[in-house]
Amino acid sequence: MRELEIYIHIPFCVKKCAYCDFLSAPAGREQRERYVRALIKEIHGGVPVRAFALPESMEYAEREEYIVTSVFFGGGTPSILPASEIDGIMEAVREMFCFSEDCEITMECNPGTLSGEGTSSEKARLEAYRACGINRLSFGLQSANNAELAVLGRIHTWETFLESYEAARAAGFENINIDLMSALPGQTVESWENTLRQILMLAPEHISAYSLIIEEGTPFYQKYHEDDLRRADGEQPLYLPSEEDERRMYVLTEQLLGEAGYGHYEISNYARPGYECRHNIGYWRGTEYMGFGLGASSLIRLRKKQADESGERPRISVRCQNPTEHSIYEPLLLDSSHTAYEILSAEDEMSEFMFLGLRMLSGISEKAFSDRFRMPVDQVYGDVIDRMISLGLLRRQRGRIFLTPRGLDLSNQVMAEFLL
């Protein structure tokens, strides 16, 4: 059976954060309930691409071909939904797909959303989530500094987070991620170090540490875009940390987390041994995935009906995206006239194999490349690889190609070199 990951999008939040450009917004109970009903209906439809007007030369994938190795509830704020609705969604997924015995099932949670709505305590609500099958939580903390949280527009405080985290442990969760964000307006290297040390005292299994990106269309873009340009030009920014301080924060993160036993396995992710996020690793390594919900994406490999010159029927990758507007998604679901899809070329797939795989500190396997594309990696990228090695940005060792420490600093520029 082929491995499959499932992503379920919950596009609701209590309040839109000032830096956020995700597909999410506040909504009332009635709209949330209506959305969950539509989401379950979509899941019961099985493989999303069945609704597409694909060329007759391709065979549709059948859900019986897959075994689900991870499920990820993302948002928005999935923990805004009561456990009864999460349970209904999980029941629909289990009805339609076969699960591996050790399937990783993650739900993103925001502190401040886990009490109320019929439960007597955060612990009771979290126990109810566990009963639904959730076995991994991802807390969106961002900072242990209340002033920085206020700048971001978060609804919680450090103290609120601690209550939620302790409740999760009391409810029996043994696999918890904490999201952190550096290079915030007004943040110093010292305050970032304090956040890291506070988190290390809690000993979560996984830590994601991202640098703030000023996204167009957000309040932060209006307020800090010019400051971000100033920093990019090597000038001293007015509100954001300097380029030097941002770099110091990254180095400090790697140092402190490494000393505490966390492996740096991806550009922005650290984990205790055995607790790397399997769902995200699947994305970086090209595992097929199906996305359900508003704006969710899928990547499925369909087999050609006719054999090629070698006598084999190659698989072709198809990427699709659900509608991004409630008014289209809820009544029509996956009507093909409202769902965007593209058939990936061989060049597209090679490019993604390289620039996604290089996000992992273990890099890409040369054998995996040749097995998948039936040619050695040097036949396509030999000149680029040699040039990146000569610049000290890539290393090649024991059949793998990976970023050097300097390459990590310039990862965006390195990965751009692999676009065909």
Which DSSP string do the residues of 43-92 spell out, in sequence order? HHT-SGGGGS---TTBPPP-GGGEEEEEEEEEES-GGGS-HHHHHHHHHH
Do 70 and 362 contact (CB within 8 A), yes or no? no
Q: In which residue are the tokens 């273990």 written?
A: 362
Instruction: Tell me if the bond preceding 76 is cis, omega within 30° of 0.
Output: yes
Q: Is 70 exceeded by the pLDDT of residue 120?
A: no
Per cent of the chain over pLDDT 70 is 92
Residue 246 CB neighbours (<10 A) = 19
For residue 23, name the pLDDT band (cuts at 50, 70, 90).
confident
CA distance 377 to 176: 37
Kindly tell me the sign of the dihedral angle through the C-alpha atoms of 7, 9, 13, 18.
positive
**What per-residue string of b and e applies to 82-116 under the rule 16 or more CB within 10 Å gives b?**
bbebbbbbbebbeebbebeeebbbbbbbbbbbbbe
Average pLDDT over every residue of 283-297: 92
Instruction: Give the pLDDT score at 119.
Output: 38
Cα end-to-end span (Å), the chain: 31
For tokens 């920014």, the residue is 237
For residues 8 and 32, what is the distance between their CA atoms, to the nearest angstrom? 14
Beta bridge partners of 289: 5, 299
Identify the burial level of 14 via C-beta atoms within 10 angstroms of its C-beta, where 0-12 means exposed, 13-18 middle and 19 or more buried.
middle
CB 4 within 8 A of CB 290: yes
Cβ distance 305 to 59 under 8 Å? yes
Residues 153, 19 contacting (CB under 8 angstroms): yes
The Cα–Cα gap between 17 and 152 comes to 6
- The tens digit of pLDDT for each residue in 150-208 reads 999 999 999 999 999 999 999 999 999 999 999 999 999 999 999 999 999 999 999 99
DSSP 368-402: HHHHHHSS-HHHHHHHHHHHHHHTTSEEEETTEEE
Q: Quick check: 31 pLDDT over 60?
A: yes
- pLDDT tens digits, one per residue of 275-285: 999 999 999 99
Give the integer Cα–Cα distance in Å for 6 and 100. Answer: 12
Q: Is the pLDDT of residue 333 over 70?
A: no
Which pLDDT score is estimated for 157? Answer: 96
Rg (CA), the chain: 22
- For the stretch 69-104, pLDDT in tens is 999 999 999 999 999 999 999 999 999 999 999 999
CA–CA dist 60, 84 (Å, integer): 33
Cβ-contact 121, 87 below 8 angstroms? no
pLDDT at 308 over 90: no
CB atoms within 10 A of CB 302: 21
